[in-house]
Chain A
Amino acid sequence: MIPVQWYFVLSAALFCVGLYGVLSRRNAIAILMGIELMLNAVNINLLAFWRYGNPNNPAAQAFAAFVYAVAAAEVAVGLALIVSIYRNRETVDVDEINLLKW
Chain B
Amino acid sequence: MTLQQALFLLFGLIALGAAVGVVVARRVFHAALWLLLAFFGVAGLYVLLEAPFFAAAQLFVYMGAIGILIIFAIMLTRGMMRQQMPRVNDQWWLAGLLALILLGVLAWLVWQQPPVVASRLVPEDSLNWLGLALIDPEGFALPFEVASVLLVMALIGAIAIVRER
Contacts and interface: CB of A to CB of B under 8 A. Distances in A.
A51 B21 CA distance: 29
A83 B70 CA distance: 11
B85 A12 contact: no
A20 B96 contact: yes
A21 B106 CA distance: 18
Contacts of B118: 1, 4, 51-52, 55
22 contacts: A2-B48, A3-B115, A5-B111, A5-B115, A6-B12, A16-B99, A16-B106, A17-B23, A37-B22, A37-B35, A40-B39, A52-B116, A55-B123, A59-B133, A61-B126, A62-B139, A70-B147, A72-B151, A73-B150, A73-B154, A76-B155, A79-B72
A68 B61 contact: yes
A2 B4 CA distance: 7
Contacts, number: 258
B103 to A, nearest CB: 4
Nearest to A95: B89
B31 A73 contact: no
Q: Closest 7 CB pairs between A and B? A: A23-B95, A73-B154, A21-B23, A80-B158, A3-B115, A12-B106, A24-B92
Contact of A79 (B20, B69, B122, B132): B69
Given A17-B23, A75-B70, A93-B85, A62 B115 contact: no
Contacts of A52: 116-119
B134 A5 contact: no
Given A23-B95, A40-B39, A30 B49 contact: no
Interface string B124-165: 001001101110000110011001101101110111011000
A20 B89 CA distance: 11
A36 B51 contact: no
Interface string A2-41: 1111111110111111111101111101101110110010
Contacts of B31: 30, 33
A33 B70 contact: yes
A51 to B, nearest CB: 5
A14 B73 contact: no
